[in-house]
Amino acid sequence: MYTVRVRKLIEQILKFGVVGIIAFLIDWGILNLLVGVFHMHNVIAATISFLISLIFNYFASMKYVFKHRPDMARWMEMAIFLFSAVVGLFINMVIIWLSTYGMNKDAYISQHAMYLLRTNIGKLISTVVVAIWNFIIRKWLLDDTHTNAMNRLRRGDHILSEEELEAKWERSFSHRLGMWSIEHTPKGWR
């Protein structure tokens, strides 16, 4: 049973990685096009490229990586994804900005090759940091966590009864958030 859970988690991480690699290639390609060819400031270019890759990432993640939770409204899934993306965008912008900190204000023109190199190093670092953030927050709040929560609880030394497991699940933040979202979904949105 433990090996099945580990295998499913590894499979999910691999799917997350494939989606992430494709999203990264979109993000990185657009970033390099905007900075390398059009000499755009790296923070502006990184914001544009991040947002474009985010659209792909949302649809691919919700279709191939994370299961829809029956106890959460779709609009809440989108809100959580948006919150996660805004935090990820902020992390991305700060790391990209720091990557060229201290260079001339017109470095994207006057020191173009070094500016592009440092921007790409910053992009690689931000990609790793944002990917970790996204997986953790999305796994916690967007995945079909009922089964995962039950499995995690069963691993402990004290095996809980089905009623105790269900009570723990019903008290969990992600379940309460999901139920709140269903109760507060406007008519016609389901």
Q: pLDDT tier at 39 (50, 70, 90 boundaries)?
A: very high
Q: Whose structure tokens read 């779709």?
A: 74
Per-residue model confidence (pLDDT) at position 7: 82
4-8, 89-93, 144-148, 156-160: segment of lowest average pLDDT = 144-148
Q: pLDDT tier at 188 (50, 70, 90 boundaries)?
A: low
Whole-model pTM?
Answer: 0.76
Domain ranges of the chain: 1-143
**Residue 136, burial from CB neighbour count under 10 angstroms (0-12, 13-18, 19+):** exposed
Q: What is the DSSP letter of 34?
A: I
Percent helix, percent strand, percent coil in the chain, to nearest 5: 80, 0, 20
In this prediction, residues 23-45 reach a mean pLDDT of 95
In this prediction, residues 16-26 reach a mean pLDDT of 92
Higher pLDDT, 18 or 190: 18
Chain centroid to Cα 6, Å, comes to 21
